[in-house]
A = this chain, B = another copy of it.
Amino acid sequence: MNRKTLVKRTRAKQRRLSADDRRSEFVTKATELFAEEGFGCGTRALARRLGVTQPLLYRYFPSKDDLIKEVYRKVYLEPLEIGWEKLLSDRSRPLRVRLQEFYEVYTDAIFNRKWLRIYLYSGLKGLDINRWYVGMVKDKILTRILRECRHEAGLATQSRPSAAELELAWVFHGGIFYYGVRKYIYEAPVLEDKAQMISDALDLFLAGFERMAESATDRRRAPIKIVG
């Protein structure tokens, strides 16, 4: 299985790579190109970037769609292999610290041009994998965060968060996410200190949750008094 990767380099172009190396190289470069140009980008441009001819792609992938699916799998799943559960649920550390560290790690993973662009493209296409990701964020991140917040506030740990709580967490999460979109998609000027942005957003969220928790008995939202 582990073939020789030593290839004669005297020729103008490297040739005769092993099948596994070629395949993974294709996926990597395809990810970069599709992130940049969108999935409408042609197979010839992809081949040109790889330094090979276009029909060679079809020796490794039955169709362009199959290549795209592989790109999705790589982009979505690869950066998500970090132990998020432990990061969020380790109650030996203060919640504020856990949340701060989690969002710094999480945004380190997804705040780049490649990930965000492919994510948005797949969202606009309405692909299943996008809905799967949204559901994953809800179940593995937001629900977990809310459970920890409820525990910290001394509230009963219910299995599933209320719709209003969840929406609050989504607005918070979306606000942070939008920072990445502004920076890497819109290329708009943003506050450079990402950690401070996260910290400020956390202040907002935790203060809001605290307020919501205080008036937990009456179900209707009580508007806070305005500043000043």
Contacts and interface: CB of A to CB of B under 8 A. Distances in A.
A130 interface: yes
Contacts of A181: 123, 174
Contacts of A199: 221, 223
A186 B177 CA distance: 15
Interface string A169-183: 011111111110110
A47 interface: no
Interface in A102-139: 117, 120-121, 123-124, 126, 130-131, 134-135
Interface stretch (A5-13, A76-84, A209-217): A209-217
Interface residues on A, range: 35 or more
**A interface, over-half SS:** helix
Interface in A171-228: 171-179, 181-182, 185-188, 190-191, 196-197, 199-201, 203-213, 221, 223-224, 226-228
Contacts of A130: 186
A129 B157 CA distance: 47
B223 A210 contact: no
A103 to B, nearest CB: 12
A153 interface: yes
A120 B182 CA distance: 12
Interface stretch (A15-23, A48-56, A64-72, A160-168): A160-168
29 contacts: A40-B40, A95-B226, A96-B223, A120-B120, A124-B185, A126-B187, A130-B186, A134-B182, A135-B188, A149-B227, A152-B226, A153-B228, A167-B179, A167-B191, A170-B179, A171-B175, A171-B176, A171-B179, A172-B204, A174-B182, A175-B178, A200-B208, A203-B208, A203-B224, A204-B204, A204-B205, A206-B224, A208-B208, A213-B227
Interface of A: 38, 40, 94-96, 117, 120-121, 123-124, 126, 130-131, 134-135, 149, 152-154, 163-164, 166-168, 170-179, 181-182, 185-188, 190-191, 196-197, 199-201, 203-213, 221, 223-224, 226-228
Closest 8 CB pairs of A and B: A174-B178, A175-B175, A171-B175, A204-B208, A167-B191, A210-B227, A152-B228, A153-B228
